[in-house]
Amino acid sequence: MKKVNKMISVLVSLMLVVTMLFGTSSVWAHEMCMNGSEPVVLKWINKNESGTFYYTKVNSDNLGSDSMYHDNYQAAVNMWTNSPTKALSQVTDFTISNVDLYTDSAYNWYTTERLSKDTLAYTILYDTNYNMIYKTNEQAINSTKEIIYAKIMFNPNHKNNSMYDGLDEALQTSAIAHEIGHVYTLGHSNTIYEVLPSSIPSIMKASVHEASTYIAQHDIDDMNIKY
Ligand SMILES: [Zn+2]
């Protein structure tokens, strides 16, 4: 037992030296929530049958029938499956999905959540006790930190919103892929504790107009740090 502990401590020391020598990759991925100055590390824990991939099974039955996101979510799901990460994302039936897309009600969007007309979407994570994480750091801190289900809520009023009329197909797709990034518990890459320079592309930037329309190397690195 002692020998094992010593080996582990030697290994950890070695890893620290390697990190210091070649330390271009950061220790943390961008997380969604903070506990003081430390990130709260959440993880999506559903895996596929072989246990190799972190599996999101995405369903759109609860999107409003006029939602502009219907036609683009297969492409967004494919972006994650085709990325060189452990993400596997598939379009599935509502009965077996673990990520459901919703068009929110106007009442919930504006009155309950007090969201703006320019916000595209938000993601609610559910931990293994089925507690929600989407609003406050405390929700994440008090959670099991293991995420098993998510809802992606889309703005109900895109048809009457001048900003959305200008949202082309590539941006619609990347907005969905961005939210799936949140399902994998990635935080915004340009807002929390490490501000990504504007020259470095990332689909996880807070604004759809600043974010890349593809899963960028920075996002792949964040995923590979987490998983
Ligand atoms: Zn976001």
pLDDT digits (tens, 9 = 90+) for 23-65: 445 678 899 999 998 999 999 999 999 999 999 999 999 999 8
Ligand 1 geometric centre to CA of 63 (Å):
19
- pTM of this prediction? 0.87
Ligand 1 geometric centre to CA of 32 (Å):
9
Domain 30-226: state its class: alpha beta
- pLDDT, average across residues 14-27: 47
Ligand 1 geometric centre to CA of 117 (Å):
15
Ligand 1 geometric centre to CA of 50 (Å):
30
Ligand 1 geometric centre to CA of 65 (Å):
24
Give residue 6's pLDDT band: very low, low, confident or very high (50, 70, 90).
low
Please report the pLDDT score of residue 161 as a whole number. 80
CA–CA dist 137, 72 (Å, integer): 31
Domain ranges of the chain: 30-226
Ligand 1 geometric centre to CA of 122 (Å):
7
Ligand 1 geometric centre to CA of 178 (Å):
6
Tens digits of residue pLDDT in 196-227: 888 999 999 998 889 999 999 999 999 999 99
Please report the pLDDT score of residue 16 as a whole number. 43
Ligand 1 geometric centre to CA of 119 (Å):
9
Check pLDDT > 70 for residue 127.
yes
How distant, in Å, are the alpha carbons of 18, 80, 86, 105, 214 from that of 220? Answer: 21, 10, 10, 33, 11
- What residues contact 166, with CB distance under 8 A and at least 6 apart? none
Tens digits of residue pLDDT in 166-204: 788 899 999 999 999 999 999 999 876 667 888 999 999
Q: Is 41 left (phi over 0), alpha (psi -120 to 50) or beta?
A: beta
Burial of 28 (0-12, 13-18, 19+ CB in 10 A): middle
Tens digits of residue pLDDT in 87-123: 999 999 999 999 999 999 999 999 999 999 889 999 9
Give start and end residues of each alpha helix (H) in 69-134.
Answer: 73-81, 106
- More confident: 17 or 28: 28
Ligand 1 geometric centre to CA of 179 (Å):
6
Ligand 1 geometric centre to CA of 124 (Å):
11
Looking at the chain, how many residues does it have?
A: 227
Tens digits of residue pLDDT in 135-169: 999 999 999 999 999 999 999 988 778 778 778 88
Ligand 1 geometric centre to CA of 188 (Å):
6
Ranking 14-18, 36-40, 77-81, 199-203 by mean pLDDT, the lowest is 14-18
Please report the pLDDT score of residue 9 as a whole number. 53
Ligand 1 geometric centre to CA of 20 (Å):
31
